[in-house]
């Protein structure tokens, strides 16, 4: 099964290549586990896409930031943290997801809402934090900047801050404009923190 999975992954590498790619000094067994997790996430995302796009024809959930982040995380795992582009774009929203997970606790009504709410969003945030804090996973300062621009455009065009206020229970507490400004500055501070941390350990590339 290991060899079969390796062949599929190697073929995937050749067909789709997110350059630049750098060899990451992590144990091969750990890389394999993350690669397997990545495939599981991508398969789940494909099922989610078929479920909403083809069966129910509800397209809005397919442009949620959570769904996009899961796709990016899945690809990052499949490429075993060797794609500087994926590493950079997958981690910059970590603070937002951790915040969302905390606020979503008040909206939990059953096990399902607990799993797809606080647990899922906290897991995404912690994985992003893992990429940031790991002292051998490289990140690009150029892609950090482009990722910042990408998420600003994405949140303004497809997902919405108003939706985040609703699912976190903050809609009646703070205006949407506050969420927009808060998210903007937190994204800037997050990128600055990532930049300084990665530069400190000499794992920041152009």
How much of the chain exceeds pLDDT 90, in percent? 60
pLDDT tens digit sequence for 54-65: 888 887 777 789
**Global confidence as pTM:** 0.86
Query: 87: which 2 tokens?
Result: 């590493």
The helix/strand count (H/E) of the chain reads as 10, 2
Instruction: Measure the CA–CA gap between 26 and 35, rounded to whole angstroms.
Output: 12
Mean pLDDT, range 13-26, rounded to an integer: 64
Paired with 83 in beta bridges are 21
Per 3-state DSSP, what percentage of the chain is helix, strand, and coil (rounded to 5)? Answer: 75, 5, 20
* Structural element, H or E, at residue 204: strand 204-205
Sign of CA dihedral 23, 18, 14, 27: positive
What is the band of 138 on the pLDDT scale with cuts at 50, 70, 90?
very high
Q: Is residue 11 scored above 70 in pLDDT? A: no
pLDDT the model gives residue 197: 94
The pLDDT assigned to 202 comes to: 87
173 vs 15, higher pLDDT? 173
Place of tokens 């994985």: 127
pLDDT one-digit tens code per residue, 147-198: 999 988 888 788 888 888 988 999 888 999 999 999 999 999 999 999 999 9
Computed over every residue of the chain, the mean pLDDT equals 87
What average pLDDT does this structure show over 112-129? Answer: 95
Mean pLDDT of 81-90: 92
pLDDT at 191: 94
Rounded-to-integer distance, Cα 171 and Cα 179, Å: 10
Q: How confident is the model at residue 1 (pLDDT cuts 50, 70, 90)?
A: very low
d(CA 49, CA 55): 9
Nearest 5°: the CA angle 68, 81, 42 is 40
Residue scoring higher pLDDT (80 or 24): 80
Q: In the numeric block, which tokens belong to residue 13?
A: 């590498």
pLDDT given for residue 13 in this prediction: 52
SS3 140: strand
pLDDT digit string, tens, across residues 22-44: 777 788 888 899 999 999 999 99
pLDDT at residue 2, as a whole number? 53
């Amino acid at each position: 099964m290991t060899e079969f999975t390796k062949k599929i992954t190697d073929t995937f590498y050749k067909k789709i290549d997110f350059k630049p790619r750098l060899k990451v000094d992590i144990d091969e067994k750990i890389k394999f586990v993350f690669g397997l997790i990545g495939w599981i996430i991508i398969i789940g995302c494909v099922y989610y896409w078929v479920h909403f796009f083809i069966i129910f024809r509800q397209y809005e959930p397919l442009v949620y930031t959570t769904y996009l982040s899961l796709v990016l995380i899945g690809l990052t795992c499949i490429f075993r943290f060797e794609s500087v582009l994926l590493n950079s774009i997958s981690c910059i929203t970590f603070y937002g997801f951790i915040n969302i997970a905390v606020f979503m606790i008040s909206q939990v009504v059953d096990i399902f809402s607990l799993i797809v709410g606080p647990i899922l969003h906290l897991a995404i945030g912690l994985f992003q934090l893992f990429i940031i804090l790991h002292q051998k996973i490289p990140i690009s300062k150029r892609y950090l900047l482009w990722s910042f621009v990408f998420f600003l455009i994405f949140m303004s065009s497809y997902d919405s801050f108003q939706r985040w206020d609703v699912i976190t229970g903050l809609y009646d507490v703070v205006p949407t404009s506050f969420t927009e400004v808060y998210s903007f500055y937190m994204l800037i501070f997050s990128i600055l923190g990532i930049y300084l941390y990665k530069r400190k350990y000499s794992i920041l590339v152009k």
